[in-house]
Structure 1
């Protein structure tokens, strides 16, 4: 199956072995699969999509088990060797068509029939405007409209496409083919129709041309927008567009797969069959690529350089069997792991290769492991978890008996990433002995370790006896160790690479493999050169901009989306043109080399420029689920993320994080006027705000940062007492570690006077960019805190643009919040029923109640945890299915129709 390993990186497109298609439907061996324009946008990250939707193709042609040639449509994932076809979306291929011809027909014509026949009720004599007539949908719609004796107007992007259409459809009048890149097509249509306009408009143009298309619609005409959902345009619909009883509908062909639309499916099947018999449904133009050239094909689609269809030929592609694990669904697999995270990743790999029965054995299974296995069970996989110590033969026998009870044991996998890991070392000898007696079906026996000694003797003995054995030795970096350790791969990337090495080892006949996993990433400018197909960028000078390299608009879009997805840098296309190697190195440095700050800089790095917004009690941030956020909360009707800031006390550091969330987000800012408030009192005040002013939905979502973690935990306890359950995200550290870590970071301030002076110096530097040299001497004569602040404000008066009152309030509030943390008793932290997710920065771990938490590792240090690209992904993955469905409905909705009579305006 054709998949994408990294959204936004077209070079990560690859073929991967997946489950053999099961369930109802007709089994078809695919010979040709068609890629769609939306596939090109998904591959480059130009449109957002769910992780499980990063597969490609909807229509195909192939051969059934009985030998019949067929063509059809699936919801997603047609680019695969075998699939199960829906009977109502399957057609026999005419004898005079090749399978390559057939692959160009199903989706384009079904979509055109859906628009013209089902949505617009086409009849003879209608006037129809079809944008992008040289595309697959355009060609199909033109063919259908001409066959029904309609007057057709169309648009194309250039002269070559105009010439192409004239040759393909001689009935088209030259004066009825306009330009899709400017507003002149409007004059063409209105002039030819004496100002009356068209009955039907199939519109897939950019937003600024949609208004012109709407004006081309006549009285009681309908405009069918096929681009809004796919391209996720920001389109400002104007009410005047609905004058003359016009209708406007956003069309999503994917809605045809809903069970409620069964009758429409049958109607499409009949319409297609009739069209084939009457010869106006016929093969379209295409360009065909070999399966291994899929990235090249998708790049062509993303740049809109094609005419008609882009096909992949799948019959010539053969995946070497030696490179893929092949698990039998009726056999069981035993995973013994010292690293739960990698154990789960290995389990998912085995499941993707066909395994359906897994036994995961760990010395101390955590709540995280149980949570993940519950998710696997929901997929229909039989998974059990045990905590046997495996110290003797009886323990191993017990574990193996549990595995054998599930089914014949096909694989045993032992992972050990700790030098001298006795738990694993002691078990290997017993596993070897017992498996020889009890596991005749054993196909894989693997030891994955970073130690030179673990499994060495066992591997030698099994190899001498000609028994299956794979010992994969790999050097694994410490992702949660010293923050000074240079680790260029994040946790997920490392595991993906290691899983590939394990699979190669299991399928190799060699008993020992040393995996040298690549831990370095290419410089950003080299990555962009590959992704955007700009080879000149690699050799360009440091000051040479992308504009100097004459980068095309399509390249710019690819670069913009790559930076947004992988480096979470949002930059306009105009500013992308100004990028050069030097600026790209700066972006690269900020992403892969977070600054290791210490002391107050860890918790306080931003001064809000807008004095009013920084003191607003509730601040609404823009997100994917609420992109046009206004500074008001009365419109919040569904669940939302409530951010509880820490010592810094305002929204600034959370803006980049929230822009990637699929639900609305607000920040509960503590206010600069509220001083001497304890952690518990802050939680009480916030709870009243949420329940009385905003309202709490079916579930709540809280995100806490440093001291905000403690407030979020106390707030969650209050909400639970009122009958609510939710999820709390702790940014950087676990709740028990907040106070010890802050005390450690501020340990240099041994007295209150030193802490006060440190706060004043740090704020001075943030406001002026200078380090004060004589501040100690100036403030020395003043004994009280208020006197020091007044003297400090006088020094700052001529150096800042902010008001004195604002600076004074910042100083007082920061000091007060630090004191509230020192006064907090961490032993009184509430025990919650809600889910607690630790977004853990390197170097911090919890030893007290870690088993009750879901722990996700970040690559960014504590000071920059909110900038880590994984944060938003983890939060989105923990949202309820209802929220995700609401997000999808809001952003990828099915068609809707608005129809107002002229009387509405009277």
Structure 2
């Protein structure tokens, strides 16, 4: 068959060969001196190219010590067999049977190959690895590596490596470790092989200690090992092999547990909602004395979703400062049973309320009335507490007042209506659809004219009419943007505005102070801020006492009633969140955790479990020892352990607290405030040296006196880096003492004195697993620690960390140099890992049974994104039905809701580094999304870049209307002045560069606010004629006009104003498109905007503006979009006036044209040129048109036209 290698493969030196199986000479001729030959074979190949011929061919083309890897199938899957039958091929031709494999091995060994390994996946495939033996074996040197007896071998290695550094034919150096299973020989070998002469290093490690103690390489089993000449040879569990890194599966480990909570893994991705193993699983194992007497454990039956949960999960708002301390900030209320009394309760929690069980303060619970089910009760706590706190406590609501309640069909809305109606208040509400409108009428008897639309600001006029222009006394608001502003305007004098939404406050939206002249008050209402004070704060205690009184009184009087609800099962949690984002629900959305029993009191409900992702939690009643705990990693680890439940830590350091950073960290623990006081965290620093057996005993005894030791984390380390030729016995001993010796002692002592030990962890290094030249002592020490942890497999783990970039030894000593690039060469192929990533990895590692684990961040040149995200994107496209939609439709047009937009936004930012605002997400076209889905990412990347360019361009414009009639536009002090007439926008930002480059004074004739009453070109011309006469009575003016200014200048010429020269700037505005409307005023303004934005953005703005009905609404939409694209970088306070004024000036241009010039058929040519075309012929003034020409052929055509039609005396081309 012809060569079909891709070009990128050919560029790497690969080539495709063909040969006849019956004539092996062709094969031998084309291939020789191979280090590795890979063969995929089957019965057909064997039968048509017999084994003897194959082996002979391979022997001739593989060089000595080279490898032959043969891959074959020993069985086929049923689908494969079926396909072969359809192709009329024999299944037996595709496999090798046992006898054929044995024959292959026998023939290979007869021809100088030795079998190294025979591996199978136990399913369908197997591999044989052979090595071609040397004809003459090298001489060898043997050095025995004795653990901790460094003087026996360090100098010997240095001597032998120096002797064999340069010679290719030098003797191989065999390092032998057969004294103990705790030998660090593997790490030592990995490092030495990366130094000069290291290619001669070989390793033999008798892990089992079962081989003959006398190592004779001329006798079995050592002679066979010498013959294979492999770099690493480990005898373990009765087999020879070597250590390899194997990737862990991406899916995290799970556990079946009765204590779990729901949380989102990736903020903005609702599909990542998962159950997690909960921290309070230790509560039942604690004695009464150890428990917090104010807390109790509850079995959850129903959890309620609140809008805050949804916007946090979706990423629409940022979590508060509590997210720095707690991994989960969703779930605010529940209904269930106390495990101690069996009573039915409903309650509030700061977070983690969507759970199977939870630990909460007793003061946050209320008993459920007998006539309510737990499902009823789950709808009550948050909505009524919010409504009571907002209306009664903050709003000081009085009987008979009028109240506007937004989103009245929601949970808080219904609770507020019940409260207000019980006080005889006049209630006005907004809802999102007709079904909710009918619900308001039927459920609460609210009149139709008192029900408004929550999706726009139309309710403002409606309710001002209902209240006869007075407005309402109280507004309970959850709406955003313009609807919030409209709600403020609905307030009567002395009114109270109660803001329970988060979005506008987090976005720091502006609220004009003018409204406060009516003596109104604005209240931000957030229960999370009160809970943030901590359970011991007087404010929270008073709050709960007040709310309990109001709630109990409301229940007693029948004011507090269960709310309408929609219930989802616990397996449908993601569906529940997504359902709530649609906004179609009425009342509450609940997640049912378990069935309620018929008995009102049940002490021991049936145990219910869920499959939850494992989380590492530390027992609050145990002590945890961290050796080297005052280092960068140690302090970060201790902080993380505290967040994961540890209350008692013992940090060791040989020198104690010695710098400001350590002091700051320890003070931070003490300043956790009331939260820490409640949890009584005890952190101690010890200077005990655990590198001696006496020191290890003393350290563990001290720690046991604090609490039973639950874990030991060995982070202690010393670095003495040097190539082997510069190492000494002392440098090896110094490096190994805190790691090998210290951990060995802690291992022995904890086995005796720590029966409740849960964690025995050693922080190793990638140096042990992969090697690093110049760190042979460090590699040896870390490898020995790994062997210790393997021996303690049940509760020990060693972690090979890669380089960490922000704390620890790499950050403190290596990356502080100026040449960081040279430093990073030590870590070829990997990136620095952040401490936050390390702790996330540690969380998982501590739940895995493997004794040695490694964490590195591999360099990835394959680009961003992943298949899972592509699949989610495909599902989204399918859900929106984009394949059947017009290409120019936007995602907003086809029904993309805000929460789905947030999800797309998060994915684009996280996986593709495409940053778009939510409003811009909804403006993505169907065509662009299709391209993105199908693999072309450039379109959306360019869209994001265009928006950045627009923002940067608009940031250069100052949208301020001048207050003075004239302004100097350059610094030239002498010469005859040039006067600039205002362009269509009324400000001179686009002309300032031109003015600065002129060598004459330039004076701008400003459009000031007092000119708003001038409504036609004639009056404007007369105004500027008078202004020029004041400035320069003698006349003979040189004037520059652009767009609107050009028309004014032409009219002034026609009225014989003494103008010497009129320069008309006529840029290439011929590209104005007529796609959206024939409204010439908008086309003129769009021409101006083209100077600041790419065509893609301008077309989107045109489409969005012109689809709106009503001129005023269109102009307001354009202003809104301009502010959106400018963002916070938009400079100036007069954006609205300038844009509205642009339309007024455009209106003058259009009316002037209709009156003085014949109607044009199209705007395909410059509007400026056409307007002046007929007027200019009778003008005696020297008029010059400056025009940008796109092509050379335009020059001849335009020259002829201008000279013939306009009577221009000269023409300038820029």
Cα 1:68–1:515 change in 2 (3 A) is same
Corresponding position: 1:400 with 2:743: no
Corresponding position: 1:74 with 2:416: no
Cα 1:425–1:262 change in 2 (3 A) is closer
Corresponding position: 1:312 with 2:591: yes
Match of 2:278 among 14, 17, 26: 17
Q: Which residue of 2 aligns with 1:555?
A: 900
Corresponding position: 1:217 with 2:485: no
Cα 1:160–1:523 change in 2 (3 A) is farther
Corresponding position: 1:273 with 2:548: no
Q: Which residue of 1 aligns with 2:646?
A: 355
Corresponding position: 1:27 with 2:291: no
* SS of the residue 1:269 aligns to: helix
Corresponding position: 1:98 with 2:398: no
Tell me the CA shift for residue 284 of structure 1. Answer: 1.3
* SS of the residue 1:57 aligns to: coil
Q: Which residue of 2 aligns with 1:83?
A: 359
Distance in 2 of aligned mates of 1:69 and 1:611: 60
8 Å Cα contact 1:432/1:458 also seen in 2: no
Q: Which residue of 2 aligns with 1:47?
A: 317
Q: Which residue of 2 aligns with 1:880?
A: none
Distance in 1 of aligned mates of 2:653 and 2:859: 28
Task: List runs of 5+ in structure 2 lacking aligned partners.
Answer: 1-260, 284-290, 595-606, 722-731, 770-779, 811-822, 945-951, 958-1214
Q: Which residue of 1 aligns with 2:430?
A: 155
Tell me the CA shift for residue 325 of structure 1. Answer: 5.2
Write the deviation string for residues 110-157 of structure 1: whole angstroms up to 9, x where unpaired. Answer: 222223333444444433221111111111112222333333221111
8 Å Cα contact 1:443/1:468 also seen in 2: no
Q: Which residue of 2 aligns with 1:375?
A: 668
8 Å Cα contact 1:207/1:234 also seen in 2: no
Tell me the CA shift for residue 273 of structure 1. Answer: 2.0
Match of 1:445 among 736, 760, 781: 760
Tell me the CA shift for residue 208 of structure 1. Answer: 1.0
Cα 1:447–1:211 change in 2 (3 A) is closer
* SS of the residue 2:279 aligns to: coil
Q: Which residue of 2 aligns with 1:499?
A: 842
8 Å Cα contact 1:472/1:513 also seen in 2: yes
Distance in 2 of aligned mates of 1:289 and 1:454: 55
Q: Which residue of 2 aligns with 1:284?
A: 563
Distance in 1 of aligned mates of 2:901 and 2:613: 40
Cα 1:388–1:547 change in 2 (3 A) is farther
Write the deviation string for residues 243-283 of structure 1: whole angstroms up to 9, x where unpaired. Answer: 65544433334465563476664443233223223333211
* SS of the residue 2:313 aligns to: helix
In terms of Rg, which structure is larger? 2
* SS of the residue 2:846 aligns to: helix
Q: Which moved more, 1:327-336 or 1:93-102?
A: 327-336
Corresponding position: 1:334 with 2:625: yes
Superposed counterparts of 1:242-253, under 5 Å: 242=516, 245-253=519-527
Distance in 2 of aligned mates of 1:609 and 1:401: 68
Distance in 2 of aligned mates of 1:227 and 1:611: 31
8 Å Cα contact 1:105/1:282 also seen in 2: yes
Write the deviation string for residues 653-674 of structure 1: whole angstroms up to 9, x where unpaired. Answer: xxxxxxxxxxxxxxxxxxxxxx
Write the deviation string for residues 2-40 of structure 1: whole angstroms up to 9, x where unpaired. Answer: 455555555555535335686453524033332321222
Distance in 2 of aligned mates of 1:544 and 1:490: 43
TM-score by length of 2: 0.42
Distance in 1 of aligned mates of 2:434 and 2:473: 27
Write the deviation string for residues 833-892 of structure 1: whole angstroms up to 9, x where unpaired. Answer: xxxxxxxxxxxxxxxxxxxxxxxxxxxxxxxxxxxxxxxxxxxxxxxxxxxxxxxxxxxx
Corresponding position: 1:427 with 2:768: no
* SS of the residue 2:590 aligns to: strand
Write the deviation string for residues 451-473 of structure 1: whole angstroms up to 9, x where unpaired. Answer: 35767777778877x88443345
Match of 2:482 among 208, 215, 238: 208
Q: Which residue of 2 aligns with 1:413?
A: 713
Q: Which residue of 2 aligns with 1:181?
A: 455
* SS of the residue 1:482 aligns to: helix
8 Å Cα contact 1:338/1:363 also seen in 2: no
Match of 2:470 among 196, 199, 218: 196
8 Å Cα contact 1:18/1:352 also seen in 2: no
Write the deviation string for residues 368-390 of structure 1: whole angstroms up to 9, x where unpaired. Answer: 45543443455443333456665
Distance in 2 of aligned mates of 1:427 and 1:524: 44
Q: Which residue of 2 aligns with 1:731?
A: none
Superposed counterparts of 1:559-708, under 5 Å: 559-560=904-905, 571-576=916-921, 577-578=923-924, 581=932
Write the deviation string for residues 283-342 of structure 1: whole angstroms up to 9, x where unpaired. Answer: 112333455655554444455454322333445863679945564444322233599444
Cα 1:5–1:94 change in 2 (3 A) is same
Q: Which residue of 2 aligns with 1:111?
A: 386
Write the deviation string for residues 685-743 of structure 1: whole angstroms up to 9, x where unpaired. Answer: xxxxxxxxxxxxxxxxxxxxxxxxxxxxxxxxxxxxxxxxxxxxxxxxxxxxxxxxxxx
Distance in 1 of aligned mates of 2:689 and 2:683: 19
Cα 1:444–1:218 change in 2 (3 A) is closer
Match of 1:471 among 776, 797, 805: 797
Superposed counterparts of 1:648-797, under 5 Å: none
| CA RMSD, 1 decimal | 4.8
* SS of the residue 1:504 aligns to: coil
Q: Which residue of 2 aligns with 1:678?
A: none
Cα 1:587–1:91 change in 2 (3 A) is same
Distance in 2 of aligned mates of 1:45 and 1:256: 23
Distance in 2 of aligned mates of 1:86 and 1:532: 45
Q: Which residue of 2 aligns with 1:133?
A: 408
Write the deviation string for residues 566-611 of structure 1: whole angstroms up to 9, x where unpaired. Answer: 999764344434476489679999x9xxxxxxxxxxxxxxxx9999
Equivalent pairs counted in the alignment come to 591
Q: Which residue of 1 aligns with 2:824?
A: 482
Cα 1:218–1:546 change in 2 (3 A) is same
Task: List runs of 5+ in structure 1 lacking aligned partners.
Answer: 592-607, 614-906
* SS of the residue 1:104 aligns to: coil
Cα 1:230–1:40 change in 2 (3 A) is farther
8 Å Cα contact 1:45/1:562 also seen in 2: no
Cα 1:430–1:234 change in 2 (3 A) is closer
* SS of the residue 1:154 aligns to: strand
Cα 1:374–1:127 change in 2 (3 A) is closer
Distance in 2 of aligned mates of 1:461 and 1:144: 67
TM-score by length of 1: 0.55
Write the deviation string for residues 523-543 of structure 1: whole angstroms up to 9, x where unpaired. Answer: 3486876888964399999x9
Distance in 1 of aligned mates of 2:689 and 2:581: 54
8 Å Cα contact 2:495/2:521 also seen in 1: yes
Q: Which moved more, 1:53-62 or 1:544-553?
A: 544-553
* SS of the residue 2:562 aligns to: coil
Superposed counterparts of 1:505-516, under 5 Å: 505=848, 508=849
Cα 1:361–1:28 change in 2 (3 A) is closer
* SS of the residue 1:165 aligns to: helix
Tell me the CA shift for residue 61 of structure 1. Answer: 1.8
Distance in 2 of aligned mates of 1:584 and 1:168: 51
Q: Which residue of 2 aligns with 1:658?
A: none
Tell me the CA shift for residue 108 of structure 1. Answer: 0.7
